[in-house]
Chains A and B, each alone.
Chain A
Amino acid sequence: MPLTHKDQEVYRRDEKFGHKLLTPDERRKLIDPYLPAPKKKSAVKTEKKSRFGVRRFLRKQLHLLVYTIIHTVFSVYIKFRQAYHAVRDRIYSVLYYHHRTPELIERDVKGLSRLPKHLSVILSLEDDGRGGAELERLVNEASEIAAWCASAGISRLSIYEKTGILKGYIAETHRAMAQKLAAYFGPSYPALAVSAPHMPSIETPGAVRSSSPEVVPSDAEPKHLSVMLLSAEDGRDSIVDLTKTLAEMAQRNKISPADITIDLVDAELAESVVTEPDLLILFSPSVELQGYPPWQLRLTEIFHVPDNQGVGYQVFYRALCNFAKAQMRFGR
């Protein structure tokens, strides 16, 4: 229990003088009433057992009652909160809609002080991915996000999906993304490269309309987007694989264990998997990382909208706003 106000003042004064004001015995007396009873005491109480048993039983019943009441109230509260958030998100999604126009997204983003260079999202597959509809939804969501990123001017996107089903359909994903980009941008769509760790990337060059000389592209550099598909095996398993390789090298005396440093591991994992993203957007109702590569999460800003369901542009936009406001502080 927290100290009573009087005791707290005594404690703080003692602390200020470097714990020299009170003798150990006095300090002992100060905190003793707040500590749980020592364990040996229970043996002494055996003679009064029946009475204490009744008391304990009653206390337990009281606790159970309070527990039930609290949880009933809480589940009502949660329902209200979810409803409130659902309504709010609905309003947001009407207010902030991209209308499939890159210019609108660009205008949304223009006021932000900074943008993530490398954005990452977690998508999830429901029902273990049985049936093609789930896969189609996933591919569609991925390509929508890719289009938003390209419009906002974020050139690196990594999409994490636990089971890795997107990796299995990398060519289809690429095609869907290219189509989506063409749908958003029209004739001058950005270059696209879709890849996965240990897999060759599929690339399409961007098209810049140069036939009409009066149209000058708004920014001089050609837009491009590189998408990385990640899955659970790029997380722990990649660290395990690295350890295996290092162990084999050590067994052949090619390296000594002392050579293994943070920099080496970081370089290897960045090379073969992915580098640290600046911003991670979750579309799930609560923060759970689902096995996202741990090494890469060090200083990544994690954004989620409480009680959110499904992928929406408003979540994406709010994440970018939130990222721009957040001040970067290293070393906590």
Chain B
Amino acid sequence: MSDLYLSHLWSWALRSPPAEWAIKQLRELLIGALSQGPVPKHIAFEMDGNRRYARSHKIETVEGHHLGFEALARVLEICYKCGVKVVTVYAFSIENYNRPKYEVEGLMQLAKVKLEQLMLHGDILDRYGASVRVLGQRDLIRPDVLEVVDQAVESTKNNKDAIFNICFPYTSREEITTAIRTTVEEYSTTARPHSTPFSQTRITQKLLSQKHERGDSLASIRETSPSPSSSRSDEVEDSVSSSATLHPESPPMRSEFESNVTVYPSAEDITADTIDSHMYTDGCPPLELFVRTSGVERLSDFMLWQCHQNTPIVFLKCFWPEFDLWHFIPVLLEWQWRQKRKERDEKPKRRVKQL
């Protein structure tokens, strides 16, 4: 009995205004302190454990999701205050459509209501300078929800400081497949970028030789600056049109070719970056931290393409609705610690190379 009494007393003390004020100041201080060091530019959260939290606390599943949303709001605030540029969250998996219907409906309703609220107070995200993006298979979203989603995306698209990616109905395999498909579409529809019979190298060479003839006193300085750029343009030309650089003297007879044969860009030019640029996360910095809550050590079809290289992945034991600054600080500290060690390890290597 005394235990219960003590815990009551403790929670009452924590809720008293001075304690709340002190905790608030402490959080501000910690966030300010953490943002002094390196901070990951892009963090992904897999918000797992809402249902199990609800089950363990004997509340309804939908209620658990609501608490999860509150945790999300907390986390977003912490991240943006620390200086994280992009936060990506896994809100809804395509697989989740297999869940009980009322739960799916509840989640959809939650998303709709929250986004509507956000629209009502349009400048909340503006304060953080954050724009909303929705990643995923749009045609699976209910039309009335989709409308709200589009509004939210539209009204915040001018914010440039930060990005909030909501993966909503998303799976990573679907994302990769879509990226492959759009890449294939691009390479099988658009013709080769129009190339002129004029060679850029020849023009720069001519300009250079003209300068030589003039005998400009500053020629030596000017000469050094354009030469690397001209060699770079050579490479670009090589990749774009190989035939033009093969015979730079004779004007190629391309125009006749193009009129009757459709020329596709060479499929050999496709690289990992090409596919990268067709991912939903195009334009975001590389993923630098992946956090999954609730102790499940699996990626579950989230950010596979983005996190499989050298992204530190952290699995936490706590359920998502419990997730707060106190869970996040150790993760961020360890990340900063590793980052500093990585930098320290790289420095001597660089010095060796310079020697």
Chain A residues in contact with chain B, CB under 8 A?
1-2, 4-5, 15, 18-19, 24, 27-28, 31, 34-39, 59-60, 62-64, 66-67, 70-71, 74-75, 78, 235-237, 239-240, 242-248, 250-251, 257-258, 260-262, 265-266, 286-295, 297-304, 326, 329-332
Contact = CB atoms under 8 A, between A and B. Distances in A.
B98 A331 contact: yes
A5 B324 CA distance: 15
Contacts of A34: 77
A292 B308 CA distance: 6
A260 B178 CA distance: 8
A250 B187 contact: yes
A331 B97 CA distance: 9
Given A63-B33, A331-B93, A237 B308 contact: no
20 contacts: A2-B324, A4-B15, A19-B113, A34-B77, A37-B127, A64-B36, A240-B275, A243-B180, A243-B184, A248-B267, A265-B173, A265-B177, A288-B311, A288-B312, A288-B313, A289-B309, A291-B310, A295-B304, A299-B300, A331-B93
- A-B pairs with lowest CB-CB distance, top 8: A331-B95, A250-B188, A66-B33, A247-B267, A287-B313, A294-B308, A294-B304, A247-B187
Interface in B8-28: 15, 17, 20, 24, 27-28
B302 to A, nearest CB: 9
A244 B269 CA distance: 8
Given A5-B20, A299-B300, A63 B32 contact: yes
B113 A262 contact: no
B272 interface: yes
A302 B299 contact: yes
Contacts of B32: 59, 62-63, 66
B203 interface: no
B268 interface: yes
B275 A239 contact: yes
B180 A19 contact: no
A295 to B, nearest CB: 6
Contacts of B48: 332
B139 interface: no
Contacts of B274: 240, 243
A71 B333 contact: yes
Interface residues of B, number: 79
Contacts of A329: 296
Given A35-B124, A244-B270, A295-B173, A71 B184 contact: no
A237 B271 CA distance: 8
A289 B176 contact: no
A302 B313 contact: yes
Which of A4, A237, A287 has the most chain B CB within a 10 Å cutoff?
Answer: A287
A330 B94 CA distance: 11
Main secondary structure of the interface of B (DSSP, over half): helix
B141 interface: no
Contacts of B299: 297-300, 302
Contacts of B128: 36
A332 B95 contact: yes
A266 B173 contact: yes
A64 B274 CA distance: 41
B177 A67 contact: no
A46 to B, nearest CB: 20
A84 to B, nearest CB: 15
A196 B29 CA distance: 53
Interface in B32-60: 32-37, 46, 48
B297 interface: yes
Which of B15, B120, B177 has the most chain A CB within a 10 Å cutoff?
Answer: B177
A260 B184 contact: yes
A15 B81 CA distance: 26
B301 A298 contact: yes
Contacts of A62: 29, 32
Contact of A67 (B37, B301, B334): B37
B177 A261 contact: yes
A266 B174 CA distance: 11
A332 B20 CA distance: 35
Contact of B312 (A2, A31, A287): A287
